[in-house]
Amino acid sequence: MADQFEVPKPLVELFEQIEENIALTQLGSSKWYMITLAALVGSNDPDLCADLYTHLLTKPEFSSPEQRQGLVRRLREGLFKTISVVGVCKPMSAILAINAREREEDKDRSITREGWQCDDDSLKRGQEWLAKIYTRDTDSTLDLFKDHRDFAWVSERITYGLYLCDRQVLDDFDTEMVVLCSIMIQNLGRNTHWHLRGTRRLGVSFEDTQKVWDSVQLVAGYLGVKLNRIPTVAAVEKDI
């Protein structure tokens, strides 16, 4: 069904510009569309994720049903992870918009969180991933919520323990790109600082992080979204 839809030329140009940006990095060829997906779903028009899907189907690497099933698994997991960042409504709208364009032979109906338990094992996995991003700042960050401890609880057990630590589909770098970009597009200064810093602490170079930052700015510019509160990559560097 995706071939029944035409992606507007300015949007194709946006996608191509971001792809070219990220091709200059060491992040890998698949990161550009995860960055774009995350910025779109956190924006004022999450249904544009369906146009990204349609555009991706023109790529030779997604020419077979099996390849397209793999693609939609990645897109779905990226959207699922952003529930913890932007809420459920925008990712839900985005996945339904994508679903409306999927051909029957391209559908992947697998499920990743069935049987998940909020137990000590999931807490441990969540804490391990949280510590990878925040490193020496983990305790002090959680301590910010000492007067409102439900937020520390949900961060460790749900945000990280359910959504972000799962590695069945997306790796560490995919996950952090999704988190950073879906936060940044919301013009959230403090949280963007934390995850620019986390991206650098994972080992992404300054130059590559800058390309990610630039790519989200391109999405914001296309959509008319103002990003006037987010720090620059350079401003975060002293905190690495």
The answer, yes or no, to whether residue 1 has pLDDT greater than 90, is no
Band of pLDDT at residue 131, cut at 50, 70 and 90? very high
pLDDT at residue 4, as a whole number: 80
Decide: 176 and 219 in contact? Cβ < 8 Å: no
pLDDT in tens, 74-97: 999 999 999 999 999 999 999 999
What share of the chain in percent tops pLDDT 70? Answer: 99
Q: For 50-70, what is the mean pLDDT?
A: 98
Domain 2-107+173-237 has CATH 2.60.40: no
Please tell me the predicted confidence (pLDDT) of residue 3.
65
Measured at the CA of 134, the angle between CA 38 and CA 227, to 5 degrees, comes to 40
Q: Which residues contact 189 (CB under 8 A, 6 or more apart)?
A: 229, 230, 231
Q: Where on the phi/psi map is residue 199: left (φ > 0), alpha (ψ -120 to 50), or beta?
A: alpha
Average pLDDT, integer, range 217-227? 99
Residue 34 vs residues 74, 175, 203: alpha-carbon distances, Å: 8, 9, 18
Which pLDDT band holds residue 2 (cuts at 50, 70, 90)?
A: low
Q: Is 15 exposed, middle or buried (0-12, 13-18, 19+ CB in 10 A)?
A: buried
Percent of the chain with pLDDT over 90: 98
pLDDT at 158: 99
What's the pLDDT score for residue 222? 99
Residue 77 contacts by C-beta under 8 Å, 6 or more apart in sequence?
Answer: 112, 166, 168, 169, 170
**Nearest by Cα to 50 from 6, 87, 95:** 95
Average of per-residue pLDDT across 206-212 = 99
Domain boundaries, the chain: 2-107+173-237
Average pLDDT over residues 173-194: 99
In contact, 94 and 79? CB cutoff 8 Å = yes
Summarised one tens digit per residue, pLDDT across range 4-35 is 899 999 999 999 999 999 999 999 989 999 99
